Structure 1
Amino acid sequence: MDTAAQNVALDTLKLAVSLCDSQADFARRIGSSTQAVWQWINRDKRAPVEACPFIEDALKDERVTCEKLRPDYRGFEILRVSRTAEI
């Protein structure tokens, strides 16, 4: 992932956390641990691909999308199409 994409990913993750009452609240909302969230921010500098749909669904903010959380991953469009087909 290039530097610009890394910055978008980390900035979006930090925005997502800031939209919650605390990092613990964010972790609770997405079904993760505070330790995992800390590692995403401080070590990985991005959320894992598998967490992105949970983050997007929990926050329901147009600034926090799977594509912004992981600009290097192109599979979210397929996921959305398959979700729509199931409904």
Structure 2
Amino acid sequence: MTTATWNGTVIAESDDIVLVEGNAYFPRASVREDVLRPSTTSTTCPWKGRASYFTIEVGGRTNPDAAWYYPQPKAAAAEITGRVAFWKGVEVR
């Protein structure tokens, strides 16, 4: 089982992980929706497409843009459709 933890709280947990470029992409259904806040941030990857971000909020603390996903990934990245990855201090084990 792979978990994503921030601020002492497990925010995602799954045994169905897709690894891309060293990042673990969790199924969206395995991520706690109550800790995700929409962000206006977006970035573009040449082969994956346009990424959107979430700010994580746990225990009154926020971690801006610490989760990302590709709403409509390019064909080369189809395996991460419906998945979320983490960074910025989120511990993935």
Measured against the shorter chain, the TM-score band is under 0.3
- Structure with the bigger percentage of strand: 2
Where relative contact order (Cα < 8 A, 6+ residues apart) is larger, the structure is: 1
